Amino acid sequence: MADSTLVFIVLGLTLAAFVWGRFRYDLVALAALLGSVMLGLVPSQEAFLGFGHPAVITVAAVLVISRGFERSGVVDVIAEQVLKVGERLFLQLAALTGTVVVLSGFMNNVGALALLLPVAMRLAREHDTSPSLLLMPLAFGSLLGGLTTLIGTPPNIIIASYRRAVTGDAFGMFSFSPVGVSVALAGLVFILLLGWRLVPQRAGKASTEEMFDTANYLVELKVGEEAKAIGWTLRDLHDALEETIPVLAVVRGEKRRAGHAFYGSLQEGDILLVEAGPEEMKLLEDKAGLSLGAELEEDEVSADETASRESDAEPVQENPGRKHRKEKKEKKEKKKKKKEVDTEGLELVEAVVRNDSMMVNRTVTQLRLQNQFGLHLVAVARDGGRLKQRLREIRFRPGDVLLLQGGESELTESLATLGCLPLASRNLALGQPRLLLVSLAIFGAAILAIMLDLLPAAVALSVAALISLLVGVLPLRDGYQAIDGPVLVLLGAMIPVGQALESSGGAALIAESLLALGSDWPVVVTLVGLFVITMMLSDVINNAAAAVLMAPIAASLANGFDVSIDPFLMTVAVSASCAFLTPIGHQSNTLVMGPGGYRFGDYWRMGLPLELVVMAVAVPMILLVWPL
C-alpha cells in the first residue's frame, strides 16, 4: 500500500477521533504519531523531534509570559477599568470584547478569556444582565484578537515556523497585523452592532443562587439521641449512604465549622447543614437516623396548631374563597421563611471545567475531591440548568459549571490542579507596581529583539519567560502550571504527522485534486475554497491541528499555481483561528458554554455570519498585502 494512502487512513481515523471526542485530543494526536511510526511513515529516530520544534517552544514561552502578566497585575489594571463602564449593554459589550481583542494579540487567547470571564460574570450580576449576551461575544473576540500578531494564537506560530522551513524566512512578529487587525476590527464592529442580537438570550443565570437554586436544597438536620450517625465522621456518613451528599457545615453549640474542615465525630445535638433534595433527605433519615432540626420541627408544629385553631374559630364575615387563599398564602410564606437557612461564612465558589481538565469523563468518586483536594461538590450545572441526577453518577464534561465548597487557602490551588476556571467575582489584586513595570519591560525587550531580527521568536520569548521567572515576576511553580501540557503534546505529536503528509506525497495529491477542480477558475476562487475547508476543519478539531494539516496542502497549491506561497499560508493562518460554529472548535467557546447557558446549536447563529464577514474582509486584504 502506498505511503500516501496510509497517511490518509491515519489522518482519517485521527479526524474521526477528534470529532468523536471520546478521548482527549492530545492522546489522539499521540496515537496518530505512534501509529505513523509503526507504519514507517515517520522515521523512528525523528518521532519526537516535534516536541523540540520552535512552534512548540514558542507556545510554551507565550503561556508562561501570559501568566506573568496576570501575576504582576497588568491585566487586573485593565479589568478594573472595564468594571466601570456602567449599565448600558452596548458599553459593556464594547469594553469586554474590545479589551479581550487587544489582550489576545499579546497573550494566549484562552488565557485572556479566562481573565475577563469573571469580570463579565460580575458585570452581568451587578446590572442584572443575562450572561449569554456577554459571554459568546467575549469568546469570539478572544479568537479575533489572536489573529493580530505572531504570538496571538498557535496557528500563527505554526504557519510562521512552516514558512521558515520552506523558504528559510519566517513571518515576523507583526507580519499578521495588517490582515489580522482588519479582520478583528470588522468582526468587532459586527459583534457590537448586530452579532450580539443573534445570540439566544437565556434566562438570567448570573448568580450562584439562580443557576443552582441552592436555597431550595439547603436544610438543617439534627443528630438525635437515637441517630445511627452518632460517633460517625462525615466520611463514615458518606460511606454509609453510598452517596455524595454535601455537608456544608456542622453546628455544635455556638460553634460552626465548614463541612470540608470538620474531621471529628458527630455527637448528639449536632446540626448538619446539608444540601439535599427530598430523596437525599429520606436516605439520610433511613440510613443515618437524621431528622429535621429541632427548631424547624417546632416551627412546623406551631404552624400546624395555628392553622388548626384558625379553622376551629368562628368564621368572620369574609368571602370563604378569599379566606382560604389568604390562609394558604400565609402558610406558604411561613413555610418559605422556615426553610431559610443561615449560610453566612460558607466558602462557595463557582468554577467551569476546562477542556484539558483532569475531571473530564470522570466522577467525583474517581477524583476523590474531598480526600485529595479538600473540596465538597455541592451541585453541577450543564446547559444553563442544574443537573438533577445523583452527584456520584455525574461524569464531568468540558463547560460544566460546578458549585464547590472548600477552604479559601486551598480553593485556588485545587482548582488550578483540577483544571477548573473560577467564575466567582474575584477581588482585583493590582499586584506590585515594580513587578508590573518589570513584566512589561521584559516583554517589550523580547518583542524588540524579534522585530529587529536579533533573535528568533522562540529564543527571544523563551529568554523573556526565563527572566520573568528569575526576577520573581512569576513563581517557578506557577510557571510550570501555566504550560498547557495537552496543547504542547498535540503540537509535538501532530507536527511529524503533518510532515509525513507532505513527504509521502499526500499533500500534493490533495493539491492536484483541488487544482484539477479549479483549473478553469481564477486563483482567488481556490484561495476561498482553501479558506472554507480550513475554517470547517477548525470547527471540529483543534485549530493548531488544522494549521499543521493544511499548511503543506497550501504550499502544494501555491507550487501548482506557480505563485507566491505567502497568501496561501496566510489564508490558513486566518481561517484556522476562526472556529465560530461549534463549542468544540476552540477552548474559548467551550469555556463559556456552561456559564452562558448555551446549547450546541446556539453558536452558528452568530458564528456563521461572523465567519462570512471574516472571509469577506480577509481574502481581499490577504491579496492586497501578500499579492500572488
Q: What is the pLDDT of residue 628?
A: 82
E strands, 267-334, are: 271-275, 290-292
Inter-residue contact 593 to 399 (CB < 8 Å): yes
Report yes or no on 434 lying in a domain.
no
Inter-residue contact 621 to 180 (CB < 8 Å): no
Report yes or no on 123 lying in a domain.
yes
Give me the domain span that covers residue 411: 348-422
Inter-residue contact 248 to 241 (CB < 8 Å): no
C-alpha 14: how far from chain center? 23
Report yes or no on 461 lying in a domain.
no
User: Do 11 and 105 belong to one domain?
Assistant: yes
Q: Which residues pair with 401 in a beta bridge?
A: 352, 381
3-state SS, 125-140, equals: HHCCCCCHHHHHHHHH
What does DSSP say about strands 247-252 and 385-386: parallel, antiparallel, or unpaired? Answer: unpaired
Q: What is the pLDDT of residue 240?
A: 80
Report how far residue 144's alpha carbon sits from residue 56's, in angstroms, rounded to the nearest whole number: 22
Q: Which amino acid is at 68?
A: G
User: Do 185 and 145 belong to one domain?
Assistant: yes
User: Do 93 and 162 belong to one domain?
Assistant: yes
Q: 405 phi and psi, to 5 degrees?
A: -120, 135
Domains: count for the chain: 3
Report yes or no on 453 lying in a domain.
no
Q: Which residues of the chain register pLDDT less than 50?
A: 204-209, 215-216, 294-318, 332, 334-345, 425-431
User: Do 80 and 221 belong to one domain?
Assistant: no
Three cell numbers at 256? 460552626
Q: What is the pLDDT of residue 202?
A: 65
Instruction: Please list, in sequence order, all residues whose beta carbon lies within 8 angstroms of the beta carbon of residue 111, skipping any fewer than 6 positions away.
Output: 63, 66, 67, 70
Q: Which CATH number does the domain housing residue 415 bear?
A: 3.30.70.1450
CA-CA distances (angstroms) from residue 235 to 246, 290, 311, 391?
11, 15, 47, 16
User: Do 406 and 552 belong to one domain?
Assistant: no
**Average pLDDT of the residues of the chain:** 80
Q: What is the pLDDT of residue 479?
A: 86
Report yes or no on 183 lying in a domain.
yes
Three cell numbers at 53? 520544534
Q: Decide: helix, strand or coil at residue 502.
A: helix
Report how far residue 431's alpha carbon sits from residue 440's, in angstroms, rounded to the nearest whole number: 13
User: Do 529 and 613 belong to one domain?
Assistant: yes
Report yes or no on 467 lying in a domain.
no
User: Do 402 and 491 belong to one domain?
Assistant: no
Statement: the pTM of the whole predicted model exceeds 0.85: no
Q: What is the pLDDT of residue 209?
A: 47
User: Do 39 and 171 belong to one domain?
Assistant: yes
List the alpha helices (DSSP H) in 168-221: 177-193, 208-212
Report yes or no on 526 lying in a domain.
yes
User: Do 224 and 195 belong to one domain?
Assistant: no
Q: Which residues pair with 81 in a beta bridge?
A: none
Report yes or no on 357 lying in a domain.
yes
User: Do 500 and 620 belong to one domain?
Assistant: yes
Q: What angle do CA 561, 566, 572 make, to 5 degrees?
A: 95
User: Do 37 and 185 belong to one domain?
Assistant: yes
Inter-residue contact 514 to 56 (CB < 8 Å): no
User: Do 508 and 525 belong to one domain?
Assistant: yes
Q: Which residues pair with 132 in a beta bridge?
A: none
Three cell numbers at 182? 482588519
Among the listed residues 482, 239, 488, 486, the one whose alpha carbon sits nearest the alpha carbon of residue 360: 486
Instruction: Please list, in sequence order, all residues whose beta carbon lies within 8 angstroms of the beta carbon of residue 625, skipping any fewer than 6 positions away.
Output: 178, 179, 570
CA-CA distances (angstroms) from residue 475 to 46, 421, 472?
34, 20, 6
Inter-residue contact 192 to 90 (CB < 8 Å): yes
